[in-house]
Structure 1
Amino acid sequence: MTTPFTGTDAYVATDDLTMAVNAAITLERPLLVKGEPGTGKTELARQVSAGLGMPMIEWHIKSTTRAQQGLYEYDAVSRLRDSQLGDARVNDVSNYIRRGKLWQAFTATERSVLLIDEIDKADIEFPNDLLQELDRMEFHVYETGETVKARIRPIVIITSNNEKELPDAFLRRCFFHYIRFPDMETMRKIVAVHHPGIKDALLTTALTQFYELRDTAGLKKKPSTSEVLDWLKLLLAEDLSPEDLRRDGKSALPRLHGALLKNEQDVHLFERLAFMARAQR
């Protein structure tokens, strides 16, 4: 019986998030985690690994990633080259089989945490191509004729940024959790982990500005948890006070806004808001 996950000192996990992790482990289903970029989806898998004392296997998905790469790849080109050179290795096809992340997780000597990160970046058929392998915890290697079965079922955590809809058949096999953006109280706890010495007055002023910025209508990209942590790090490095953060009406932009706003449309939006506010005086 796996010890329940309760979070770690380095990661603030809400009650519903720890419940989701433990439910997926109990059901022996992959945990599908969605949420805004920067809300700690990838970090969750690393903290589950740390909290449960299990090794971590990470598979970061790109637009060109194929499901087969997670199982294994057969390097036929190298085998052909070696045969032309008279290399004796060509007699054993297993010399040209490169094990993927699922193979590594299935054959690990101890239970591991397998992260399949940003599954929605891949082709739409990618999740369906992994259905059987994740369900049965086994796959066949055609070149060698062997079947690779999981010795110990890994804890599978899959993240998605909602760039594509995932197939229903895939969703049915997962336990789902959406990480909501932290409220002010939860954000204070997160900040306390990363910046334990920050003064309350500065934190209150900064977070008030941050949430006002996030709630601004028309914002193209809302700043994430990781970005507010970067911003607070800069405020501390500059030794700014709450008074330094107060805007004077000439600009609606917060100090060091480059850590929070990442495109020119959003910067121009705040410049227009400041112009309109001055015009109304």
Structure 2
Amino acid sequence: MTTRFDGTDSYVATDDLTMAVNAAITLERPLLVKGEPGTGKTELARQVASALDLPMMEWNIKSTTKAQQGLYEYDAVSRLRDSQLGEERVHDVKNYIKKGKLWQAFEAEQKVVLLIDEIDKADIEFPNDLLQELDKMEFHVYETGETIKARVRPIVIITSNNEKELPDAFLRRCFFHYIRFPEADVMRKIVEVHHPGIKGELLTAALTQFYELREQPGLKKKPSTSEVLDWLKLLLAEDLAPEDLKRDGANALPKLHGALLKNEQDVHLFERLAFMARRQR
């Protein structure tokens, strides 16, 4: 089994990204991956698992998620109810403990890839509450008195959309990588993976327009990689030619712009640009 990641046929990984993944594996530290939404952070973990032929576990973080849930949860209410009903199972506290994703990863017989997705959605104390567990790869279960240690240290990949700053103590324990938005040459490779054989002229026209759109001053939400892939899928489905994509000042919105622009402020921005262009004629 290989322990080196070099990308996959379905995921274009830049040299600096593969270097970061392999460095984190070598150091046995969590890999913290930041980048704007749609740059493939979550998919990276899945592709690492696929490339190394390892099982994968996902812990998707929400604003209400607590760090304890990643370890285990003790259902005291159910135990109290069962004791009132005279249930036999009440005598074993383990019947009321639900294992979290970290516990599952720690007790796995083989190395696994553990994805902690969008850690910045949780409370600011969330990363600090996992410091020791991720560092020592063990935790204590107070209800049973046992200590859960990782049989095989998992590969931990943590993603963040930079919605809030993460604590310094947490950052020190991670290997950090920022996924920059792909340049046009890398984007061409990504498109070729998802839309093999796309005509060069159409792709050039579409990507030129896409990057111009991203650079438009005042844009609230820049379209991402996943959105340009959806847009290209629509262009191909409609069998549009490069000349169909041409915009002039009177029609500033791109064809099928609903795949690229995801809020009314950005649509209104381009409508205002078109209106101003018409007035200047």
Paired letter, 2:172 = R
1:15-38 deviation per Cα after TM superposition (whole angstroms, max 9, x unaligned): 000000000000110000000000
Residue of structure 2 in register with 1:9 after alignment: 9
Matches within 5 A, 1:53-68: 53-68=53-68
Query: In the aligned structure 2, how far is the partner of 1:237 from the partner of 1:144?
Result: 59
Residue of structure 2 in register with 1:263 after alignment: 263
Q: Report deviation, 1:272.
A: 1.1
Residue of structure 2 in register with 1:156 after alignment: 156
Query: In the aligned structure 1, how far is the partner of 2:143 from the partner of 2:221?
Result: 47
What SS does structure 2 have at the residue aligned with 1:32?
Answer: strand
Query: In the aligned structure 1, how far is the partner of 2:156 from the partner of 2:113?
Result: 6
Residue of structure 1 in register with 2:193 after alignment: 193
Paired letter, 1:264 = E
Query: In the aligned structure 2, how far is the partner of 1:227 from the partner of 1:204?
Result: 16
What SS does structure 1 have at the residue aligned with 2:156?
Answer: strand
1:174 aligns with 2:166: no
Q: What runs of 5+ residues in structure 2 fail to find an aligned partner? A: none
Residue of structure 2 in register with 1:219 after alignment: 219
1:171-201 deviation per Cα after TM superposition (whole angstroms, max 9, x unaligned): 0000000000000000000000000021111
TM-score under structure 2 normalisation?
0.98
Residue of structure 2 in register with 1:40 after alignment: 40
Matches within 5 A, 1:99-138: 99-138=99-138
Q: How many residues align?
A: 281
What SS does structure 2 have at the residue aligned with 1:278?
Answer: helix
Q: Report deviation, 1:280.
A: 2.2
Paired letter, 2:81 = R
1:235-255 deviation per Cα after TM superposition (whole angstroms, max 9, x unaligned): 111111111111243210000
Paired letter, 2:145 = G
Paired letter, 2:32 = L
Say which is worse superposed, 263-272 or 14-23, in terms of deviation. 263-272
Paired letter, 2:209 = Q
Query: In the aligned structure 2, how far is the partner of 1:21 from the partner of 1:280?
Result: 52
Query: In the aligned structure 1, how far is the partner of 2:248 from the partner of 2:167?
Result: 50
Residue of structure 1 in register with 2:98 after alignment: 98
Q: What runs of 5+ residues in structure 1 fail to find an aligned partner? A: none
TM-score under structure 1 normalisation?
0.98
Paired letter, 1:180 = R
Q: Report deviation, 1:208.
A: 0.4
Q: Is the 8 A contact 2:250 2:277 kept in 1?
A: no
* Cα RMSD after superposing both structures: 0.9
Query: In the aligned structure 2, how far is the partner of 1:73 from the partner of 1:202?
Result: 53
Query: In the aligned structure 2, how far is the partner of 1:200 from the partner of 1:87?
Result: 69
Q: Is the 8 A contact 2:141 2:148 kept in 1?
A: yes
1:86-111 deviation per Cα after TM superposition (whole angstroms, max 9, x unaligned): 11100100011000000000000110
Paired letter, 1:78 = S
Percent same amino acid among aligned pairs? 85
What SS does structure 1 have at the residue aligned with 2:219?
Answer: coil
